[in-house]
Amino acid sequence: MPQVELTELTRAELEAALLAEGLERYRAGQIFQWVYRRGITGFAGMTDLPAAQRAALADRFRISTPPVARRDISEDGTEKFLITLQDGRHVESVFIPRTPHQTFCVSTQVGCAMGCAFCLTATMGLLRNLTPGEIVGQVRVLAGALDLRAARFNVVFMGMGEPLHNYDATMAAVRILADDHGFAVHPRRITVSTVGIVPGIERLAAEDVMPRLAVSLHAPTDEQRAALVPVNRKYPIADIIEACRRFPPARRGRITFEYVLLAGVNDAPDDARRLAALVQDLHVKVNLIPLNPAAGIPFERPSDERIDAFGRTLAERGVTVMVRKSRGRDIRAACGQLAVEGMKRSAAQRLADALKP
């Protein structure tokens, strides 16, 4: 019988698997503590389990950890990890210190199907989804490499890929990360970002374990947004806003709208006024993200004066706004800059992927 990859299982799934093997379900909590809090990946080291059980577990389960192919450190302390998956593909993950807490930015897909015009990851197209174990594996690797397993940290699903396009694996990963016996990351310290996959937002609103939600809006009108985010043709702004309005505010806290500022494209005073009108009756925060330029991206960063004026226009209309400071730009670890060389697809392929259901 083939071994089961233990890191793919939530604790409830591991409990069921242990019961099927004739073992006590409470052992799942002990195993979670060893794997996630202590970084133990061999059953022999799990000393509070009986020796006979450890041997039986080693026969039935394996605990895999993805290796780090490259680690780059920015002058501002940001670190980018190139992580090798079992099939030889790679994803990038980022550690952002002092945010004010440590933050791990993880990927949910190899590449991305959304085709956003200003994002380097989009040049790859979608190669495949990550599994729950591969998503959480990035946190395990970063926490171990940075000696932060026992520390308090945030996790943002803002790396490569569209999390709600890989919904089931993303939410399984959220449950594993939030489990009290593992990393115990409170759901309010986990943020799932989406370009506006409305069915995914609606599913997320009904979850028992509910992370924070960030919506990548990037434009105040459908005409502008469709040119930047092709999936807007399927899920227009009005549908996204309505889905956010139905999101239960008592549980999820403030929704964040991400807005990448592109010079001469979506950074005019009228754009700011339209954006303020869109969100005026929602409990939201707007994160303004000046474009992080990259080769092959046909846009420019606005001037500081233009960025400040856009933010002031929002603030004057009662919108909570923050201009996000770019971190890790010198190692291409900033927002929109993650991509794995040698894995790129044509513009036509990217657009076709973005319009798939």
DSSP string of 106-156, one letter each residue: --SEEE-SS--TT-SGGGG-EEEEPPHHHHHHHHHHHHHHTT-TTS-EEEE
Q: 8, 15, 79, 92: which is the annotated catalytic residue?
A: 92
CA distance 120 to 339: 6
Q: Are 93 and 81 in contact (CB under 8 A)?
A: yes
Indicate the DSSP class of residue 355. Answer: T
- Would you call 105 a catalytic residue per the annotation? no
Indicate the DSSP class of residue 164. Answer: G
Q: Is the dihedral of CA 109, 111, 112, 113 positive or negative?
A: negative
CA distance 330 to 74: 6
Return the axis-axis angle of helices 237-245 and 269-279, rounded to nearest 10°.
40
Residues in contact with 54: Cβ distance below 8 Å, sequence separation at least 6, in sequence order: 43, 44, 46
Which residue, chain included where needed, has tokens 């993303």? 170
CA distance 255 to 288: 14
Q: 112, 116, 119, 335: which is the annotated catalytic residue?
A: 335
Catalytically active residues are 92, 335
